[in-house]
Amino acid sequence: MINFNVPPYTGKEVEYMKEAIENQKICGDGPFTKKCNEWIENQTGTAKCLLTTSCTHATELAALLAKIKEGDEVILPSYTFVSTADAFVLRGATAVFVDIRPDTMNIDENLIEDAITERTKAIVPVHYAGVGCEMDAIMDIARRHNLMVVEDAAQGIMASYKGKPLGTFGDFGCFSFHETKNFSMGEGGALLIRDEKYIEDAEILREKGTDRSKYYRGQVDKYRWQNYGSSYLPSDMNAAYLYAQLELAEEITQARMDRWNQYRELLTPLAEAGKIELPYVPEYCIHNAHMFYIKTKDMEERSRLIEFLKQKDILSVFHYVPLHSAPAGIKFGRFHGEDKYTTKESERLLRLPMFYKLTADEVEYIAEQVKAFYR
């Protein structure tokens, strides 16, 4: 059976986790957490990175730092994971969904401006499959309307738009290290902070409302309750697991990219014959091979293909059910404008197995079976 996902594992994780245990520092903000933060700061050039317990929590931190409150509105795509909306809805905001572009499955930047009202506080682009949204246009709209930008870059580490890493355009960027992502720590994430003025508040929010981060740095002689907050810092054992993968980030990304390019090459004849569509990556976007998907004719054909592949021992999966059609989406949000592509394209999209140790032989077999289905 070829699984859809296998959590990334390099071999060094156990050694580093053992080291964390022997350091007698397994709680948050230990040596491995610092190493991960610094690695991400160096790789992305962001002013500050704070490892978190999930991307969901990183987004919650961003919503708190952006001072999102009851009655505010945030603009986001409906084709995304629930967390993108949850973080803002939890603060009492309304999720205003706009349509996606059918080519990248990202928010259609040309529809954002029309959805802005005097209540709008933030735009939340989601870089689907690690392919950058049109950040030039989005940042220009945000500047002109004085809006915050929170990038859901859960799938976007090691990817860039016009040479700049995803997660570093907006006021805040959020990475995920869930086991389904390119690099993992089981459950985990990171908040990227562009502007230094937010660092202190972010540290306090993340540490139960205390200035313990300052205390650890020796900047204050005791730490105290400073503000409201919660616990958003992961155990150093989890950070140790992640650090083993960050050290091999280039190698892991290259391995995924090789499989991604192989899929594309093998399936191009089917696309040229008009049977399926392949992912589109604008030439100024460097992606990270987070996902390989194809688009079938419609949902019915997709269901048959999933079943066919399952019989050939291949697990393939569809992705998001648009949020605006879900019970909470109806309760906490509204779709602005026409749903021209969100529902239609989401029903056609099928994700093929993609993970670090996927082999060339496996990709060849999978592509062969997809071709067999269309014969």
Ligand X SMILES: *Cc1c(COP(=O)(O)O)cnc(C)c1O
- The site for ligand X (CB under 6 A) is made up of 54-56, 80-81, 83-84, 126, 152, 154-155, 176, 178, 189
Residue with tokens 């090459």: 265
**Rounded to the nearest 5°, which phi and psi values hold at 278?**
-110, 160
The identity of residue 53, as a single letter, is T
Taking the complex as a whole, how short is the minimal distance between the CB of residue 179 and ligand X, in angstroms?
9
Taking the complex as a whole, how short is the minimal distance between the CB of residue 115 and ligand X, in angstroms?
20
Please say whether the beta carbons of 227 and 201 come within 8 A.
yes
Q: Nearer to ligand X by C-beta: 56 or 288?
A: 56
| Residue 313 three-state SS | coil
Cα(188)–Cα(165) distance, rounded to whole angstroms?
20
Cα(140)–Cα(97) distance, rounded to whole angstroms?
19
Taking the complex as a whole, how short is the minimal distance between the CB of residue 54 and ligand X, in angstroms?
3
Taking the complex as a whole, how short is the minimal distance between the CB of residue 83 and ligand X, in angstroms?
4
Q: Nearer to ligand X by C-beta: 112 or 267?
A: 112
Please say whether the beta carbons of 303 and 174 come within 8 A.
no
Taking the complex as a whole, how short is the minimal distance between the CB of residue 190 and ligand X, in angstroms?
9
Q: What is each CA distance from 126 to 73, 105, 151, 152, 372, in whole angstroms?
A: 17, 9, 6, 5, 34
| Residue 161 three-state SS | strand
Q: Nearer to ligand X by C-beta: 46 or 83?
A: 83
Q: Nearer to ligand X by C-beta: 80 or 342?
A: 80
Q: Nearer to ligand X by C-beta: 93 or 267?
A: 93
Cα(130)–Cα(294) distance, rounded to whole angstroms?
15
Taking the complex as a whole, how short is the minimal distance between the CB of residue 237 and ligand X, in angstroms?
17
Q: Nearer to ligand X by C-beta: 55 or 252?
A: 55
